A and B are shown apart, each in its own frame.
Chain A
Amino acid sequence: MAETPRDAVIIGGNRIPFARAHGAYAKASNQAMLTSALNGLVARYGLQGEQLGAVSGGAVLKHSKNFNLVRESALGTPLDPRTPAYDVQMACATGTEAIGSLANKIKLGQIDSAIGGGVDSISDAPIVVSDELRAILMEATRAKSAGQRLKALAKIRPGHLAPQAPGTGEPRTGLSMGEHMAITADKWGISRQEQDELAVASHKNLAAAYESGFFDDLVSPFKGLNADNNLRADSSMEKLTKLSPVFGKDLGENATMTAANSTPLTDGASAVLLGSEEWADAHDLPKLANFVDYEQGAVDFVDGAEGLLMAPTYAAARMLKRNGLTFEDFEYFEIHEAFASTVLAQMKAWESADFCRDVLGLDQPLGSIDRSKLNVHGSSLAAGHPFAATGGRIVATLAKLLHGKPGKLGFISVCAAGGQGITAIIEGR
């Protein structure tokens, strides 16, 4: 693997249970949720009064009043207020990017400790006014006399007053993420059955993990929730096959994506504690795993040259090459289930000799991923996907899975809006 000056150690994680949008957290703000996730982490690892190297994270749907969301959230915790904190944003890869770049700072010796994470709320999403109304209000603000101000305000028409909620549509194509994915799924021939099977497995795995107590030290209750409320332990193929497609309906018979094999809109927050080996030892903290490396990817999706959510496919090829690894070297795979078909399409691409040779420029395909190693404790289809909070959920889950398995590797793939994505490598200790 690539040589680095020192290891970045994943010490632990904490998240609040993820809640379906407009449900349990309907009245919780991004700042309230992130503060709670940070507070849980601080309490679990005794960080009261500690000055950390940095706290980094973000939210995808963020109000402009939250210009310093992470700093404001950190100030609401018992952490030493001299701990710097800053926002990052890379759509659904926000949390993973925050954690990855903090790990790099630790490896370089710039900082010794850090918290990375993210939060998102659909229920408390910022509603904005129309561009026309905003332009008029700004003009009125710039007016130098009452007359000028009135003249500007007189331009307001009833149509300008309609509020605009943020959508999940890609600005450059007008297609929702689900519609984009439906096109990619069709291109790769991903069947309805495969997707439903993956969704059922996700629910069964997450339910089993809760049952076994795996999440006891990874999740803290919030607003009366103790576990992710999207989880359906009784999910079954029988139930899922009854659902009608919700995306790609213009594909007719080939429409395969339903509400069950697509991730629901979710509220939630997560945080992960990182440190150098020395810092962890000095504070007598556990060392679950090393954050070894990560890679960003982006694809040309606007005119359909590549699928919107396929960037991790490319990032993985570069990251594995740099580290001299193949899929056979990994013990566990965490592929974010934006949609069941996202996971399946990425895996088909890595299996495809043509794609790996012609598009990724590899001598041979990256190969297939053993399903028994994939999302073994469930993923976003069951847990839900509060965009920026997903990275923290995945990193903490995988680090705990690899703890006690020194040298064993875990692989992460997270796709993101805008045709981007991140892959990462974690090594157990």
Chain B
Amino acid sequence: MSDPIRIPLPKLKHLYQKAVLSAARAKLSPGGSLKALPERPVLAEHPGLTEDQAEQYRRLVAGESFDGSHRRSLPSVMLHIAGFPVQMALMSRDDFPLPLMGMVHLSNEVNHHQSVHAGTPLQILARAENFASHRRGTQVDIVLEFYPKGLDVKTAGPQDQLYTSRSRYLGLGTYLYSKTEAATQVRQEFTPPSKTGVWTLGADAGRQYAAVSGDYNPIHLSTLTGKALGQKGAIVHGMYLAARMLEGREPESAGHSWKISFDAPVGLPGKVAFSAQQVNEKSQRFVGWNPRTVRRHFTGELTLP
């Protein structure tokens, strides 16, 4: 691994301000070009998520309570929330070739190796890889690795990892590669399965997740800001959908893995029809869709150890 750039845990608010500024600058001088890809990961120390945050999260997803004895393990999406500022810091560096504003979350793959509790200090490493052509721009994988505090990350092995995730993003409209390289995707026909639940999301669902996660991306906050970023209105955070999908299904002792792929965004306010299907003893498959238009919002999978 190339030497990580050590950074203090960033404040998300500042990163979004910077992103908005650079988006405005890009409007003045359009036409992106392929700069050198960021090779060095960034590494930040995190003091640990707090019990207050865990309680806020629990209220957000109406989940089971963290009683500190039978349920201590933080949900995967909370760890994503802890790692998000580090990922954002990486993506707002000058050597990152895609503009942060208007970045679309395509998918997430997570290995939740070991359980992490509130108050556990962490080291969080973020790196970018697999820049690739996409028919609507350029995609990139942001990899997050979580290690315990005090461990030398450079010599750490997979057994030391607490949590790893690969989030795939699309830099919409930024073509770092020639457009012709991108294969046209064929939209698959979707026949919904029998639903097992319905999530009713209020107009403030984006603001509520933002308050818990610190992810104040304006695309999630209001009709106006959502429209400014090319949506019909505010859309819900992809990770909120992941949080609802996983709530009550993650094992306390961790060791599980899961993934989610996003299709059409969920406009707010809105309803999501949801189906959970048992594939076998260890694995469940999920799908969410718009009950009115029958457009698919996401598919997911959870595999227990």
A174 CB–B CB distance under 8 Å: yes
Which one of B59, B192, B197, B274 has the highest number of Cβ atoms from chain A below 10 Å of its Cβ? B197
What's the tally of chain B residues with a CB closer than 8 Å to chain A? 20
Tell me which residues across on chain B come within 8 A of A187, comparing CB atoms: 194
Say yes or no: A174 contacts B194, CB within 8 Å: no
Q: Assess the A186–B194 pair: CB atoms within 8 A.
A: yes
Describe A's contact surface by its main secondary structure: loop
A3 close to chain B: CB less than 8 A = no
Task: Give A170's nearest chain B residue, CB to CB.
Answer: B197
A303 to B195, CA, bound (A): 9
**A183 and B195 in contact, given A131-B59, A250-B273 (Cβ under 8 angstroms):** yes
A250 to B195, Cβ gap below 8 A?
yes
Determine whether A175 belongs to the interface, using a CB cutoff of 8 Å to chain B: yes
Structural contact, B197 and A174, CB atoms closer than 8 A: yes
Give the docked Cα–Cα distance between A250 and B278 (Å). 22
Residue among B194, B274, B276 having the largest count of chain A Cβ atoms under 10 Å: B194
Q: Is A179 an interface residue (CB 8 A)?
A: yes
Q: Which residues of A lie under 8 Å from residue B253 when comparing CB positions?
A: none
Q: Does B38 contact A (CB under 8 A)?
A: no
Is the C-beta of A305 less than 8 angstroms from some C-beta in chain B?
A: yes
A179 to B199, CA, bound (A): 13
Please, which residues of chain B bring their CB within 8 A of the CB of A131? 59
Is there an interface contact between A303 and B276, defined as CB atoms closer than 8 Å? yes
B62–A171 CB distance below 8 A: yes
B194 touches A302 (CB 8 A): no
Known contacts A174-B199, A250-B273; is-contact A305 B278 (Cβ 8 Å): yes
Q: Across the interface, which residues of A come within 8 angstroms of B192, CB to CB? A: 250
B203-233 with Cβ < 8 A to chain A: 204
The distance in angstroms between the C-alpha atoms of A250 and B196, with both chains bound, is 13
A183 to B62, CA, bound (A): 24
Residue in B196, B204, B284 whose beta carbon sits within 8 Å of that of A173 in the complex: B196
Tell me the complex Cα distance, A277–B161, Å: 70
Give the docked Cα–Cα distance between A303 and B285 (Å): 11
Closest to A135 in B: B59
Chain B residues with Cβ below 8 Å from A173 are: 196-198
Query: Could you tell me the distance between the alpha carbons of A223 and B198 in the complex, rounded to whole angstroms?
Result: 39
Are A304 and B196 within 8 A (Cβ)?
Answer: yes
Q: Are B195 and A175 in contact (CB under 8 A)?
A: yes
B200 CB-CB contact with A under 8 Å? yes
Verify if B275 is at the interface (C-beta below 8 Å from A).
yes
A305 surroundings in chain B (CB, below 8 A): 278
Kindly state the separation between the CA atoms of A175 and B198 in the bound complex, as whole angstroms.
6
Chain B residue with minimal CB distance to A301? B196
Closest to B198 in A: A174
CB of B291 closer than 8 Å to a CB of A:
yes
- For B277, the chain A residues whose CB sits under 8 A away are 303-304
A183 contacts which chain B residues (CB < 8 A)?
A: 194-195
Q: Which residues of A contact B197 (CB under 8 A)?
A: 172-175
Across the interface, which residues of B come within 8 angstroms of A186, CB to CB?
194
Interchain pairs with CB closer than 8 A, number: 40
A303 adjacent to B278 (CB under 8 Å): yes
With a cutoff of 8 Å between Cβ atoms, the chain B residues found around residue A159 in the complex are 204
B204 touches A303 (CB 8 A): no
Task: Verify A302–B196 contact, CB threshold 8 A.
Answer: yes
- Give which listed residue, A171, A179, A302, A303, contacts B198 with CB less than 8 A: A179
Scoring B residues 133 to 169 as 1 if CB is less than 8 Å from chain A, else 0, what string do you get? 0000000000000000000000000000000000000
The answer to whether A303 touches B284, judged by C-beta atoms less than 8 angstroms apart, is yes
A308, chain B: closest CB distance, angstroms: 10
Are A174 and B278 within 8 A (Cβ)?
A: no
Nearest-neighbor residue (CB-CB) of B292 within chain A:
A250
Residues of B within 8 A of A175 (CB): 195-198
A169 CA to B302 CA, complexed, in Å: 26
Proximity string of chain B (116-136) to chain A, C-beta cutoff 8 Å, 1 when within and 0 when not = 000000000000000000000
User: What's the Cα separation between A187 and B195 when bound, in Å?
Assistant: 12
Complex alpha-carbon distance, A302 and B63, angstroms: 13
A250 touches B59 (CB 8 A): no
Nearest residue (CB) in A for B275 is A304
Query: How distant is the Cα of A250 from the Cα of B275 in the complex, in angstroms?
Result: 14
Complex Cα gap A173–B200 (Å): 10
Q: Complex: how many Å from CA A403 to CA B194? A: 45
**Contact residues in A for B200 (Cβ distance below 8 Å):** 174
Q: Mark A215-256, 1 if CB is under 8 A from B, else 0.
A: 000000000000000000000000000000000001000000
Of A159, A174, A175, A179, which is in contact with the most chain B CB atoms at under 10 Å from its CB?
A174
Could you tell me the distance between the alpha carbons of A171 and B200 in the complex, rounded to whole angstroms? 11
Q: Which residue of A lies closest to B291 (CB)?
A: A250
- Contacting residues, chain A, for B204 (C-beta < 8 A): 159
* B59, A304: Cβ atoms closer than 8 Å: no
| Interchain CA distance A172-B64 in the complex, whole Å | 11
Minimum distance in angstroms from A356 CB to a CB of chain B: 22
| Chain A residues whose C-beta falls within 8 Å of the C-beta of B62 in the assembled complex | 171
Is the Cβ of A303 less than 8 Å from the Cβ of B196? yes
| A131 CA to B60 CA, complexed, in Å | 11
Q: Specify which chain A residues have a CB less than 8 angstroms from the CB of B291 in the assembled complex.
A: 250
Closest residue on chain B to residue A303 by CB atoms? B276
A299 to chain B, nearest CB (A): 13
Cα–Cα, bound, A237→B165 (Å): 58
Contact residues of A between 175 and 209, Cβ < 8 Å to B? 175, 179, 183, 186-187
18 contacts between A and B (CB under 8 A): A131-B59, A159-B204, A172-B197, A173-B196, A173-B198, A174-B197, A174-B199, A174-B274, A179-B195, A186-B194, A187-B194, A250-B192, A250-B273, A302-B248, A303-B276, A303-B277, A303-B284, A304-B277
Q: Which residues of A contact B (CB under 8 A)?
A: 131, 159, 171-175, 179, 183, 186-187, 250, 302-305
7 closest pairs, A vs B, by CB?
A: A304-B196, A173-B197, A303-B276, A174-B198, A174-B197, A303-B196, A175-B198
